[in-house]
Amino acid sequence: MATPQDVLPAPSDLDHPGPAPAPEARIVARRKPAQWAAAAIAVLLAAMAVNSVIRNRAFQWDVVADWFTARSVLDGLALTLWLTAVTLALGFVFGTVLATMRLSANPVLRTLSWGYVWVFRSTPPLVQLLFFFNIGALYPTLGLGIPFGPEFVTVRTVDLIGPTLTAVIGLTLLETAYAAEVIRGGILSVDRGQLEAAAALGLGRWRVLRRIVVPQAMRAIVPTAGNMLIGALKGTSIVSVLAVSDLLYSVQLVYLQSYRVIPMLMVATLWYLVVTTVLSVGQYYVERHFAKGATRDGLPPTPLQRARAAYRRAVRA
């Protein structure tokens, strides 16, 4: 039979317990004084720049406010947006054809596509516009008829191609060269193994293009295409040399008469900033749309979604 001495621990064990566990080490965030100093200097310089712009009377902000929504400025802005949309849309249509030619197995088509891209990417846009504006010196008339035979319709080039049409032609041909390379790069970014797997499954070419190639190629195309869109918007200002009434030419007409150069240039600058910001936001959401399924963890919330979540938490609290 067990005695109480057999059940209870020995007195020595009670008087001398084991060592106490060491307290957990407190995690201290790493101090980064250099980063904080750099951030403070950057904020200070930015504040100084904003203060100098706002308080500088030479900008004549009252004149900027008066002309910002003027009818002539808005008409020039509308023409700028129209030129951007038309030239970029046509550029991507023709650029798709050129990219297809460049990727074809036909050496003649590949050479022609490469030559077109080489010529239009190698010459300045202003030279191209001036060349097309003076195309009447090379071809005074354009006719429709039988080759090496009589012409049924003849039109003077000067009467057919005006400044606006010249701008559309010149900018479209330029954007076509860049769009062809963007589309070609996007198609080449698709893994060839997926195309081989689709062919092994017996999928048709159109279904492979629509379901496999285009969604993945757009992930590489959209960011560069967004930069092209913003570049095309700003590039339309070059048509002012042809007396096309775009945004820049509209403000130029005003300051040539009133000698208010700085405030009118600020009007154009602010409008370019506004439109570019809107396009950048649109590009961000288009990129998110085509990036679905690209990562395992999903996409991070947008600023709007984070704001809604913060508002809901505040309401619940």
Percent of the chain with pLDDT over 90: 34
Judge whether 11 lies within some domain. no
Decide if 38 is inside a domain. Answer: no
pLDDT exceeds 70 at position 315: yes
Looking at residue 5, its pLDDT comes to 53
pLDDT for position 312: 78
- This model's pTM is above 0.75: yes
> What values do phi and psi take at 183, rounded to 5?
-65, -40
- The angle, 0 to 180 degrees and rounded to 10, between the axes of the packed helices 163-188 and 125-133 is 140
- pLDDT greater than 80 at residue 146: no
**pLDDT (0 to 100) of residue 70:** 93
| Res 9 pLDDT > 60 | no
For residue 298, what are the CA distances in angstroms to 250, 293, 306?
Answer: 46, 7, 15
Cβ contacts of 132 within 8 Å, gap of 6 or more? 161, 166, 169, 170
Average pLDDT over residues 261-286: 92
Tell me the longest C-alpha to C-alpha distance in the chain: 133
**Which among 269, 206, 199 is positioned nearest to 234, based on CA atoms?**
269
Is the pLDDT confidence value at 254 over 70? yes
CA atoms within 13 A on the CB side of 50: 6
Query: Among 193, 187, 184, 185, which Cα is nearest to 213's?
Result: 187
Range of 94's domain? Answer: 69-290
- 20 found inside a domain: no
Give the least confident one: 74-78, 240-244, 273-277, 288-292: 288-292
- The pLDDT of 85-107, averaged and rounded, is 92
Query: What's the structural domain count of the chain?
Result: 1
Bigger pLDDT: 65 vs 300: 65
Distance CA 309, CA 303 (A): 10
**Tens-digit pLDDT profile for residues 25-54:** 666 567 778 888 898 999 999 999 988 888
Task: Quote the CA–CA distance of 222 and 200 in Å, as a whole number.
Answer: 29
pLDDT at residue 117, rounded to an integer: 93
- Could you tell me which residues come within 8 angstroms of residue 276 by beta carbon, excluding any fewer than 6 positions away? 230, 233, 234
Chain segment 258-273, per-residue pLDDT in tens: 888 999 999 999 999 9
Tell me the C-alpha distance between 18 and 118, whole Å.
82
Inside any domain, residue 280: yes
The CB density around residue 33, as the number of other CB atoms within 10 Å, is 7
Say which residues have a Cβ less than 8 Å from residue 292's Cβ, sequence separation at least 6.
299
pLDDT at 144: 75
Q: Name the one residue in this structure whose structure tokens are 């809901």.
A: 312
Most confident segment among 28-37, 136-145, 160-169, 251-260: 251-260
Average pLDDT over residues 293-303: 63
Q: How far is CA 156 from CA 19, 92, 150, 161, 276, in A?
A: 104, 30, 17, 9, 39
Write down the mean pLDDT value for the chain. 83
Query: Is 59 domain-assigned?
Result: no
Region 273-291: what's the mean pLDDT?
A: 88
Burial state string for 268-300 with b = 16 or more CB within 10 A and e = fewer than 16:
beebbeebeeeeeeebeeeeeebeeeeeeeeee
Averaged pLDDT for residues 273-285? 91
The answer to whether position 18 is within a domain reads no
Average pLDDT over residues 241-255: 90
Rounded mean pLDDT, 195-219 = 78
What is the per-residue pLDDT across 104-129, written as a single tens digit (0 to 9) for each?
888 999 999 999 999 999 999 989 89
Q: Quick one: pLDDT at residue 15?
A: 53
Higher-confidence residue of 187 and 194: namely: 187
Residue 230 contacts residue 247 (beta carbons within 8 Å): no
Strand ranges (E), the chain: 141-145, 151-156
In a domain, 214, yes or no: yes
Give the CATH number for residue 79: 1.10.3720.10
Let me know if residue 160 belongs to a domain: yes
Q: Which residues of 10-22 are buried (b: 16+ CB within 10 A; e: fewer)?
A: eeeeeeeeeeeee
pLDDT beyond 80 at 235: yes
74-91 mean pLDDT: 94
Q: How confident is the model over 68-77, as a mean pLDDT?
A: 93
Higher pLDDT, 164 or 212: 164
